[in-house]
Structure 1
């Protein structure tokens, strides 16, 4: 099953930075080192999402606020919405964070997708993430992960196609599907699937091993370019575009 050739492209970057707004800085005074780690942000994702956005007509929503403040990739009912690694916000601060940073950002994305659906345009969403090479003593066995819902044919077909294109571009890379996380776990794309049908929306998460982004700028640029070119190739193949 191929998605409609009439489509719009959406990019999101939920963990693009590790900034803490001034009014909340006292809570993080003793956690500056933690903010620099993968717990505080997804290194490389803001750079990559901006590059993709510059290459093709698209909409980009990117956050540079640390996930340790509030995690835009978690639902409001998820216990991990507010990190347990730092002092918890007060009930008042919690509501302020939701009203100021979380709900407006999430709602803006939903509103944009709805605007495309009203124009009968299929939304192809790519969410940018990066993962730590080792977590809890376990070494991750991939350079690239593509996360999707196996029950949605457009997502499944696209990721199989993109995996092949990445392998052709970077033969040395281990490219795994629904790794290091499951594409149907709680997250931004999962929430959007609950609001939009498979005929309206496709949500893919790109996961890049952070070791790749820790290379020199001369090495990181061809990485991002290659990922974009392989993604664009997969888009053409799955939409029937020339």
Structure 2
């Protein structure tokens, strides 16, 4: 069995090829000088991607290091395009990007979404030529508060397709391992979203339908993962160690 960690949202760069197409748009100045968030932000979807999600990138690197496996991370800003969405999804682009010319939107897809998804597909194909199973962990974060303003009850969400027995069993094993390793860490399955919603892992399940592919989204509450304290590293290291425990036959794949 092999492991692969990916991160859709941890980047903060703009492709050089997009600087000219975006040069004379309001979006470009907003990307370079993002506005400060309001004191009372609007309540939005709990899994909505923030403009900058460096916490997801940090967490993905820490988990991949602890597990000793490959990491493929999108280096570009999540507000350019949601690389996890299917091409016709209504939230593929943010409203300010949807207002841009069609040619500019196509250039964003060509520079950001297509290379990222192609790299993951190639890497999974390569791993599946050498291993009977591959566990693909897509690392993201979610909002600390609900739409109504209350605090989220979970610390870690494991999103999977419950109709796929291997994914269900793997997530159950990981939940148990995390409980024994860190009982205070609240791990919830298919919360705050569902593993069957439109996502990169759902797309990869369709692509690798005839082979042993497990696609799991590991979503982390920004209430704790956004705090650069020693406890954060301890939790991420515990998550990585637990992943290793439930995937004992995984061979290190780090390049």
Task: Measure the CA separation in 2 of the matches of 1:149 and 1:19.
Answer: 32
> 5 Å matches for 1:39-188?
39-84=50-95, 88-139=99-150, 140-188=152-200
* Structure-2 residue corresponding to 1:11: 5
- Decide whether the 8 Å contact of 1:154 with 1:198 is kept in 2: no
- Decide whether the 8 Å contact of 2:67 with 2:241 is kept in 1: no
Task: Measure the CA separation in 1 of the matches of 2:117 and 2:189.
Answer: 26
What CA RMSD, in Å, does the superposition of the two structures yield over aligned residues? 2.5
Gap change, CA 1:100 and 1:170, over 3 Å in 2:
same
**SS where residue 206 of structure 1 aligns?**
strand
Task: Measure the CA separation in 2 of the matches of 1:198 and 1:141.
Answer: 37
How far has the Cα of 1:202 moved from its partner?
0.4
- CA offsets, 1:60-97, max 9 Å, x none? 11013122101111111101111125563210011111
Q: TM-score under structure 2 normalisation? A: 0.82
- CA offsets, 1:102-150, max 9 Å, x none? 1111111111212222335321111101111114224322111100010
- Decide whether the 8 Å contact of 2:133 with 2:213 is kept in 1: yes
Structure 1 residues 205-214 or 167-176, which shifts more?
A: 167-176
The answer to which structure, 1 or 2, has the higher relative contact order (CA under 8 A, 6+ apart) is 2
* Structure-2 residue corresponding to 1:228: 240
Across the two proteins, how many residue pairs are aligned to each other? 233
* Structure-2 residue corresponding to 1:218: 230
Q: Which runs of 5+ in 1 are unaligned?
A: 1-6
**SS where residue 247 of structure 2 aligns?**
helix
Gap change, CA 1:116 and 1:35, over 3 Å in 2:
farther
**SS where residue 192 of structure 2 aligns?**
coil
How far has the Cα of 1:43 moved from its partner?
3.9
Structure 1 residues 18-27 or 115-124, which shifts more?
A: 18-27
- Decide whether the 8 Å contact of 1:39 with 1:67 is kept in 2: yes
Q: Which runs of 5+ in 2 are unaligned?
A: 42-48
Task: Measure the CA separation in 2 of the matches of 1:201 and 1:35.
Answer: 39
Task: Measure the CA separation in 1 of the matches of 2:131 and 2:224.
Answer: 38
Structure 1 residues 20-29 or 8-17, which shifts more?
A: 20-29
Q: TM-score under structure 1 normalisation? A: 0.86
